[in-house]
A and B are shown apart, each in its own frame.
Chain A
Amino acid sequence: MKRPGVLAITVGFAAAAAGAWLGNSYYVFVIATLALTALVGVGLNVLVGLAGQVSFGHVGFYAMGAYAVAILTTSGKWSFWAALPAAGVIAAATGALLALPAVRVRGPYLAMVTIAFGFIVENAASEWKGLTGGQNGIMGIAQPFAERWIALFAIALAAVATVAFALLRDNRLGKAMLAVKDSETAAESIGIDPVRVKTVAFALSAGCAGIAGGVFAPLAGFVTPSTFAFSQSILFVLAVMIGGAGTVAGPLVGAAVVVLLPEALASLAEYRLLLFGVLLLGVLLAAPEGVVGTLDRLLGRRKPRCLEGTPAALGASSGLELEAERLGIVFGGVRAASGVSFRAPPGRITSLIGPNGAGKSTVLNLLGGFYRPQEGTVRLDRTSIGGLAAWRIARAGVARTYQTTQLFDSMSVAENVSLASPRGESERYLGFVGYRGELDAGAGSLAHVDKRLVEIARALAMQPSVLLLDEPAAGLSAADKRRLAALLKEIAAAGVAVVLVEHDMAMVMDISDSIVVLDAGVVVAYGPPQEIRTSPAVRNAYLGDGASRLAASRQDAAPGARLLETSGLRAAYGAEPVLQGVNCDVREREFVAVLGANGAGKSTLMRALAGLHRPVQGTIAFAGETLSALAAHEIVRRGIVLVPEGRQVFPELSVRENLELGAFACGGEAPAIESMLERFPRLRERLAQRAGLLSGGEQQMLAVARGLMGRPKLLMLDEPSLGLAPKVIQDLFATLDRLRSDAATILLVDQMAELALSLAERAYVLQAGQIVSQGSPAEVAAGAGIEQAYLGARA
């Protein structure tokens, strides 16, 4: 909490207290209502702002608290001081109970569960007449002390809650809630049980609402069901969202808006709600992150705090062995993994490799408990951990990182790491992995390499026996990769069993003790690097074989004019640059290939050209027109069609419908479909089937056919061979070859370097977002870059 914020909040509470002390009974009542709304808001903020759950049923807890105090102090003859804590406990217990169904559902489903809860409470209050007095409620609730004092008491409660919230947010539990909000997956990977955390959040926030309701009852002197209508729940959520979810002062500001604004508009009588609606919309549009959130962003920055001194060493690990035993899992009829067995001994690096879609990440997910194995099991030091929840496996000593980093973006770097550490240390692990940036920087705004490092540091902070890493080198520069390789060796040396999924062959070959090669979910080779490097199965899986069989049969129509040209093309994901000034061109009737390692920026280049990735800097010119600012659907209409990575057919639509959609931009489906069916006879048999039921190869055919339906001037293909069997890849490339001989203009990105080069007339090699080599296929193939990029042969 920054000092001006603390000052502002203190002044706000002092002003409220002064108002309650000096004002007339109207102001006292309004201020008390404001304080109670703030109290509910602060509680709701625990749920919304910290745990990332929404509740449109908080009026139910508020009502429970109010009724509890009303009933206990009237017919129960309890003292207010006994009844109020009881109200809080009843509401909190109900909150925990509601969490049972609520934590199972997400998004709109969660909203509905809470709405339903609010309605049940409201209706129960009007139907359970013996207890609640029915529709006319309970009147004449005695005030334990004068109204002015109730107001001051309410202000005190709101202040205590605000301080408690600030403390909670900075404490382990609050951080665990934020972690669950940012990434449930990552939270589980550091041993946090999301169900428990969410349940606690529900209970705390319900408890606050219950206490607020408990004070409301004597303040108002009555409770009736209509006081606790659904609209009140909406006002509570509004208070949090207008103020700024997750901020300390947010609910206070929000409560002030939702309570004071209607009072300011009171003299408008019947027009009040109308104007309230208009102003509300205005505030939301002006400050979509909430008033406090927006102010926070506009105001102050923290003083940077960096690590100093030499990196610390990692403590010795307990040295347990991880063993996968005949692991298998099926997704929607597809065997993603089957009979996968290997061992990852302590102090060794065991790597999983294989072409894209081979099932590497799936196996990692099975090991880490993100997926529950349908066959086989996982053992840690001979104890079976297969099928346990991810957070239990994490606590047992298996830490992991993710293909796309899963940091807690709303927390700082130091918080990310210290949350995982049993002793709350962060600097030691950050120092060990070689992180040199700011400790208090928001994790969401880090550069790519730093995200990777922080994620590894976070995993190490768990003091794991086993570390699972999913493509940690993807997108790193050569220098960063070297540092990473050294780091992984050091981790293994400390006795950790390292399991690595990685595409960078040079690195894998260099640091692995043993390698598991997967293809189509099955282990095709398993052994030390030397063995794997020479294995024909591996070579086949990566490079394909017999590229030479494709005849260079193009009727050498000389390439025509320049069709596409980029200059200085730059693109980034957030703060992370992916393309760093790419200059390339494609001429009419030319077949151009773009090669490069995973994460070099090939797909991003395609997406930038197709208009899916915006904004970009630099220019994209096509047939004399600048496309850099156009959206994807506008670019398609100009004749650039992308067949995207992973095929992306519409699974629920039939093959025919998929084809028809291909011609969406230019029309004229029927004759074109016929010509596609001639080109791809397999599709004719499947015409009426749902595309999702086709095999991978058929889907790729369909994706190409769908692309051609748009009668492209330039056809772009992004990794068409991905995850296909070698025979199918042959067929696919034969098709591409025919297209080439039909004088189509094609830009191809494919990991099958040899095949791609065998078709292309010109090629570019992309590395770290820049073109490092270009020329004829022969020139490119002869250069050093290509081998290094694909197979990791040392230059």
Chain B
Amino acid sequence: MGGIVMLKRIVLLVVVLAAALPAGAQETIKVGLVTALSGQSAQAGEAISRGLQTAIDELNAKGGILKGRKLELLRRDDEATPAKGVIAARELVFKEKVAVLFGGLDTPVSLAIVPLMNQEKIPFMGPWAAGTAITRNGANPNFAFRVSAVDELVDKAMLQYSLKTFNAKSCGMILVNNPWGESNEKGLTAALAAKGMKAAGVEKFEANDVDVVPQLSRLKAAGADCLFLVGNVGPSSQVVKSLDRMGWKPPIVSHWGPAGGRFTELAGPSARNVHFVQTYSFFGTQRPVGQKVLKALMAKYPDIKGPADVTPAVGVANAYDAMMLVALAIEKAGSTDGPAIREGFYKIDRYEGLIKTYEKPFSPQTHDALTENDYVWTQFIDNQIVPVGLKN
């Protein structure tokens, strides 16, 4: 047995070496990721890493792309600050010479990196950060692409949903005090203004706040009958628990934050009152791609025992599809040349992905692969994210 394994390895080595001989053309294709890997957002960074790695493993197992070149992921921690993110991006671009750079979850970090990418003509792919200006950055040619939600669209959808489902008259905003919260404040205010409405009140809270009662009391006093919630899973659960303590039960329409973790465990039974937007859920019946990815995740990461452990699911799903689309773009380009890959994105016809089947996802006008039609309204029932109305 051992001898056979050994022999196989030697053969493999010879093959690899032989393949590598012609002018190093077969060297690996490096892709970079700059995101928060430590601190509060470590889990989100891990989710993006896992989504990318799962896609890369799948591609490499099939023999790589561009006729046998393997993909390699290089990750850097930006500690959620733009300054660190920009240095990390420079390192990956100039020192490691990555073909494509993936962004992380903080909009300011991505906004700080994108000008560099446009200048160096290397494609940037955003699997998470939803700030509108990341892809609509005014540059020509524009090298920033995204497979994620867009705040502006989510905000419109949130308002739409609150009017339709809860017949809301006067909405209050409760937003985490960071760039993401502020970007949605703008978006929601604009969405309300478009309908000739005004917010009952806008309140911010810190991501590490234990108690949000004072802010919520202000919204209640201002006559809010529905809350727009923007915050990651931890901060979102603080809002829900604070509402419980106040004994106030307004309907809550939320951005996708609660999907980032064990929301029910964190927020308690009232978690189910929060209706939030989603791009993807591993719960329920999965299409073949979903089954395949979930299986791969469970095989690779021992802490994943079922769909509930894939958190935040959006990070994994967006990153997986983003990587697959990047691979297709490189194939279409036929090289790792930045401008060619950019053109390659536009040439993608159809890709049967995890989130959806993408039909001509990118064009010079649209650098966002997901649209408002791809948002699903969901809620937590026990430990599962399910579309609203499916269970009760």
Cβ-defined contact, B95 with A226, below 8 A:
no
Cβ-defined contact, A227 with B111, below 8 A:
no
Cβ-defined contact, A270 with B45, below 8 A:
yes
Query: Does A675 have its Cβ within 8 Å of any Cβ on chain B?
Result: no
Evaluate whether A136 and B182 lie within 8 angstroms (CB atoms) in the complex, with A26-B93, A29-B90, A222-B82 already known.
yes
Report the separation of the CA atoms of residues A285 and B91 in the bound assembly, to the nearest whole angstrom: 31
A-contact bits for B12-54, CB 8 A (1 contact / 0 none): 0000000000000000000000000110001001100000000
Cβ-defined contact, B112 with A220, below 8 A:
yes
B-contact bits for A17-36, CB 8 A (1 contact / 0 none): 00000001111011001000
Cβ-defined contact, B80 with A226, below 8 A:
yes
B74 surroundings in chain A (CB, below 8 A): 267
Query: Does B81 have its Cβ within 8 Å of any Cβ on chain A?
Result: yes
A27 surroundings in chain B (CB, below 8 A): 94-95
A-contact bits for B172-187, CB 8 A (1 contact / 0 none): 0000011101110000
Identify whether the interface residues of B are mostly helix, strand, loop, or mixed: helix
- B267-298 residues at the A interface, CB under 8 angstroms: none
Looking at the complex, which one of B37, B45, B79, B91 makes contact with A263 (CB distance below 8 Å)? Answer: B91
Query: Does B107 have its Cβ within 8 Å of any Cβ on chain A?
Result: yes
Evaluate whether A266 and B76 lie within 8 angstroms (CB atoms) in the complex, with A135-B182, A137-B108 already known.
yes
Within the complex, the shortest CB–CB distance from A20 to chain B, in Å, comes to: 13
Looking at the complex, which one of B38, B95, B131 makes contact with A24 (CB distance below 8 Å)? Answer: B95
Cβ-defined contact, B93 with A139, below 8 A:
no
Query: Does B10 have its Cβ within 8 Å of any Cβ on chain A?
Result: no
A-contact bits for B73-92, CB 8 A (1 contact / 0 none): 01111011111001110110
Query: Does A229 have its Cβ within 8 Å of any Cβ on chain B?
Result: yes
**Residue in A closest to B37 when the chains form the complex, CB atoms:** A270
Cβ-defined contact, A224 with B108, below 8 A:
yes
Report the separation of the CA atoms of residues A789 and B37 in the bound assembly, to the nearest whole angstrom: 73
Query: Does A481 have its Cβ within 8 Å of any Cβ on chain B?
Result: no
Cβ-defined contact, A135 with B82, below 8 A:
no
**Residue in A closest to B36 when the chains form the complex, CB atoms:** A270
Looking at the complex, which one of A30, A134, A222 makes contact with B111 (CB distance below 8 Å)? Answer: A222
Cβ-defined contact, A227 with B83, below 8 A:
yes
Query: Does B115 have its Cβ within 8 Å of any Cβ on chain A?
Result: yes
- B114-168 residues at the A interface, CB under 8 angstroms: 115, 120, 131
Within the complex, the shortest CB–CB distance from B120 to chain A, in Å, comes to: 8
Within the complex, the shortest CB–CB distance from B117 to chain A, in Å, comes to: 12
B178 surroundings in chain A (CB, below 8 A): 135, 226
Cβ-defined contact, B38 with A270, below 8 A:
yes
Within the complex, the shortest CB–CB distance from A24 to chain B, in Å, comes to: 4
Query: Does A273 have its Cβ within 8 Å of any Cβ on chain B?
Result: yes
Query: Does A140 have its Cβ within 8 Å of any Cβ on chain B?
Result: yes
**Residue in B closest to A274 when the chains form the complex, CB atoms:** B38
B-contact bits for A38-81, CB 8 A (1 contact / 0 none): 00000000000000000000000000000000000000000000
Query: Does A221 have its Cβ within 8 Å of any Cβ on chain B?
Result: yes
Cβ-defined contact, A226 with B77, below 8 A:
no
Query: Does A684 have its Cβ within 8 Å of any Cβ on chain B?
Result: no
Looking at the complex, which one of A221, A226, A273 makes contact with B38 (CB distance below 8 Å)? Answer: A273
Evaluate whether A139 and B38 lie within 8 angstroms (CB atoms) in the complex, with A29-B87, A224-B179, A263-B91 already known.
no
Report the separation of the CA atoms of residues A29 and B45 in the bound assembly, to the nearest whole angstrom: 25
Evaluate whether A266 and B86 lie within 8 angstroms (CB atoms) in the complex, with A135-B108, A136-B111 already known.
no
Query: Does A126 have its Cβ within 8 Å of any Cβ on chain B?
Result: yes
Cβ-defined contact, A136 with B179, below 8 A:
yes
Cβ-defined contact, B76 with A140, below 8 A:
no
B37 surroundings in chain A (CB, below 8 A): 269-270
Evaluate whether A33 and B87 lie within 8 angstroms (CB atoms) in the complex, with A24-B94, A270-B37 already known.
yes
Cβ-defined contact, B82 with A227, below 8 A:
yes
Evaluate whether A270 and B77 lie within 8 angstroms (CB atoms) in the complex, with A136-B131, A139-B111 already known.
yes
Cβ-defined contact, A136 with B108, below 8 A:
yes
Cβ-defined contact, B83 with A220, below 8 A:
yes
Query: Does A343 have its Cβ within 8 Å of any Cβ on chain B?
Result: no
Q: How many residues of A contact B (CB 8 A)?
A: 28
- B58-82 residues at the A interface, CB under 8 angstroms: 74-77, 79-82
Identify whether the interface residues of A are mostly helix, strand, loop, or mixed: helix
Within the complex, the shortest CB–CB distance from A473 to chain B, in Å, comes to: 61
Within the complex, the shortest CB–CB distance from A215 to chain B, in Å, comes to: 13
- A239-258 residues at the B interface, CB under 8 angstroms: none
Query: Does A489 have its Cβ within 8 Å of any Cβ on chain B?
Result: no
Cβ-defined contact, A140 with B82, below 8 A:
no
Cβ-defined contact, B108 with A272, below 8 A:
no
Looking at the complex, which one of A226, A266, A270 makes contact with B81 (CB distance below 8 Å)? Answer: A226
Cβ-defined contact, A227 with B79, below 8 A:
no
Report the separation of the CA atoms of residues A167 and B76 in the bound assembly, to the nearest whole angstrom: 41
A139 surroundings in chain B (CB, below 8 A): 111-112, 115
Cβ-defined contact, B82 with A226, below 8 A:
yes
Looking at the complex, which one of B79, B80, B90, B179 makes contact with A135 (CB distance below 8 Å)? Answer: B179
Report the separation of the CA atoms of residues A194 and B78 in the bound assembly, to the nearest whole angstrom: 42
Report the separation of the CA atoms of residues A139 and B179 in the bound assembly, to the nearest whole angstrom: 13
B76 surroundings in chain A (CB, below 8 A): 266-267, 269
Report the separation of the CA atoms of residues A33 and B91 in the bound assembly, to the nearest whole angstrom: 13
Report the separation of the CA atoms of residues A27 and B93 in the bound assembly, to the nearest whole angstrom: 11
Within the complex, the shortest CB–CB distance from A710 to chain B, in Å, comes to: 49
Report the separation of the CA atoms of residues A140 and B116 in the bound assembly, to the nearest whole angstrom: 11
A137 surroundings in chain B (CB, below 8 A): 82, 108, 179
A272 surroundings in chain B (CB, below 8 A): 38, 77
Cβ-defined contact, A26 with B90, below 8 A:
yes
Report the separation of the CA atoms of residues A684 and B120 in the bound assembly, to the nearest whole angstrom: 87
Evaluate whether A221 and B115 lie within 8 angstroms (CB atoms) in the complex, with A26-B94, A229-B81 already known.
yes
Report the separation of the CA atoms of residues A29 and B89 in the bound assembly, to the nearest whole angstrom: 11
Within the complex, the shortest CB–CB distance from B134 to chain A, in Å, comes to: 11
Report the separation of the CA atoms of residues A273 and B76 in the bound assembly, to the nearest whole angstrom: 11
A24 surroundings in chain B (CB, below 8 A): 94-95
A270 surroundings in chain B (CB, below 8 A): 37-38, 42, 45-46, 75, 77
B111 surroundings in chain A (CB, below 8 A): 136, 139, 222
Looking at the complex, which one of A126, A136, A140, A273 makes contact with B77 (CB distance below 8 Å)? Answer: A273
B94 surroundings in chain A (CB, below 8 A): 24-27
Report the separation of the CA atoms of residues A227 and B80 in the bound assembly, to the nearest whole angstrom: 9
Report the separation of the CA atoms of residues A270 and B90 in the bound assembly, to the nearest whole angstrom: 18
**Residue in B closest to A137 when the chains form the complex, CB atoms:** B108
Looking at the complex, which one of B77, B90, B108 makes contact with A269 (CB distance below 8 Å)? Answer: B77
Report the separation of the CA atoms of residues A264 and B110 in the bound assembly, to the nearest whole angstrom: 23
B-contact bits for A120-152, CB 8 A (1 contact / 0 none): 000000100000001111011000000000000
The interface centre, meaning the residue of B76, B83, B115 with most chain A CB atoms within 10 A of its CB, is B83
Report the separation of the CA atoms of residues A221 and B106 in the bound assembly, to the nearest whole angstrom: 17
Looking at the complex, which one of B90, B120, B131, B179 makes contact with A226 (CB distance below 8 Å)? Answer: B179
**Residue in A closest to B181 when the chains form the complex, CB atoms:** A135
Cβ-defined contact, A221 with B45, below 8 A:
no
Looking at the complex, which one of B83, B91, B183 makes contact with A136 (CB distance below 8 Å)? Answer: B183
Cβ-defined contact, B95 with A26, below 8 A:
yes
Report the separation of the CA atoms of residues A224 and B106 in the bound assembly, to the nearest whole angstrom: 12
A26 surroundings in chain B (CB, below 8 A): 87, 90-91, 93-95
B87 surroundings in chain A (CB, below 8 A): 26, 29-30, 33, 263
Within the complex, the shortest CB–CB distance from A272 to chain B, in Å, comes to: 5
Interface pairs (28), CB distance under 8 Å: A26-B90, A26-B93, A33-B87, A134-B179, A135-B179, A135-B182, A136-B107, A136-B108, A136-B182, A137-B179, A220-B83, A221-B115, A222-B108, A224-B108, A224-B112, A226-B80, A226-B81, A226-B108, A227-B83, A263-B87, A267-B76, A269-B76, A270-B45, A272-B38, A272-B77, A273-B38, A273-B77, A273-B79
Apart from A222-B112, A267-B76: 8 A-B pairs, beta carbons within 8 A = A26-B90, A26-B94, A29-B90, A135-B183, A136-B108, A140-B115, A266-B91, A272-B38
Binding site for A on B (CB under 8 A): 37-38, 42, 45-46, 74-77, 79-83, 86-88, 90-91, 93-95, 106-108, 111-112, 115, 120, 131, 177-179, 181-183
Which 9 pairs between the two chains have the least Cβ-Cβ distance? A270-B37, A26-B94, A135-B179, A135-B182, A26-B90, A24-B94, A269-B75, A224-B108, A227-B83
